[in-house]
Amino acid sequence: MANLAAKRPLILEIKGNSLDDGPGIRSVVFFKGCPLACVWCHNPESRNPAAELAFDPPKCVDCGECRKICPDRALSRNHPEYVARSKCRLCFLCTDVCPSGALERVGRTMTAAEVLAEVLPDQPFFDVSGGGITLSGGEPTLYMDFASELLRMARRHGLHALLETCGCFDLPRFMDLLYPHLDAIYYDLKIMESAAHKAFCGLPNERIIDNFKALLTAARRDGKLLLPRTPLVPGITDGEANLRAVAAFLSGLGVNQAALLAYNPLWHEKSRKLGIDDPLKGDPAMSAFGDGARLERGRAIYREMGIDPTG
């Protein structure tokens, strides 16, 4: 992936009133672009740093306006997915004329000031709940300069700031540009065996592991929250061997709390709207929401190994 650190990201969404992305009520800023390529990514629209065209068939009222305006004849009722992606040049003219929102541009250009302006109206809710702003994605650390500017502005308004990260970043730049402006970091540890991490997430995990250790030292020194998190993906991350390996790694570092995240299969539907190849489509194990039994099995392993499981 090209070096994006100095570039302005596309923003996928600014989601207010979130209760799932840190303490209290939060506004979550989703960045577009990620260095990993997890096969189960629950936000597939966040992987590609470039803008994308989404088509949602149930919303289409078949008015034909998009077919009339498309300069590349990329839209056809005869095409199985309606959008012939190989012909589409991503001009987004069709999204301007679509009356129902069936065709949508995914990813918008914003300045840090514009992002903050959308977040600040919720500050009264942050103040009463202990919430704040969360940077998520995708991977905000792909855009160090932009994220740093946004965090510094948020801090000037007294907002609690949290980052959700895959841990795959340049550590010196992170410590210089982002770390000083963060109160808390939620840090993904998905797969402990590096070859399996590469197979399922696109890159080996040594950098992620090394960054976690360095951040843990800094967070302990500075009294910041560093919460490791593992998504329970059926047959990939939720096996006993992997969960024991994560727990052993953490307890070896003296960490006694970590989150386990229930699996969410809605990414299949999101992939379909974007025309993203989904090799796991139709796999029954990957099509159901994570159940309580699976979560409880993971929690039991963590407790047995001295880790207090949250989530």
The binding site for ligand SF4 (CB under 6 A) comprises 53, 60-66, 69-70, 72, 74-75, 83, 88-94, 97-100, 102-103
Whole-number minimum distance, CB 11 to ligand SF4, in Å?
19
Kindly tell me which of 17 and 100 has the beta carbon lying closer to ligand SF4. Answer: 100
Whole-number minimum distance, CB 37 to ligand SF4, in Å?
24
Query: Which 8-state DSSP code applies to residue 180?
Result: G
CA pair distance 74, 70, nearest whole angstrom: 7
Whole-number minimum distance, CB 117 to ligand SF4, in Å?
28
CA pair distance 260, 169, nearest whole angstrom: 22
CA pair distance 118, 27, nearest whole angstrom: 9
CA pair distance 273, 291, nearest whole angstrom: 26
Contact in structure between 10 and 32 (CB atoms under 8 Å): yes
Specify burial of residue 22 (Cβ count, 10 A radius: 0-12, 13-18, 19+). Answer: buried
Kindly tell me which of 28 and 83 has the beta carbon lying closer to ligand SF4. Answer: 83
Instruction: Please compute Rg for the chain using Cα positions.
Output: 20
Kindly tell me which of 98 and 259 has the beta carbon lying closer to ligand SF4. Answer: 98
Q: Using CA atoms in the order 129, 132, 137, 139, what is the torsion angle rounded to 10 degrees?
A: -130
Whole-number minimum distance, CB 275 to ligand SF4, in Å?
11
Whole-number minimum distance, CB 84 to ligand SF4, in Å?
8
Amino acid identity, residue 6?
Answer: A
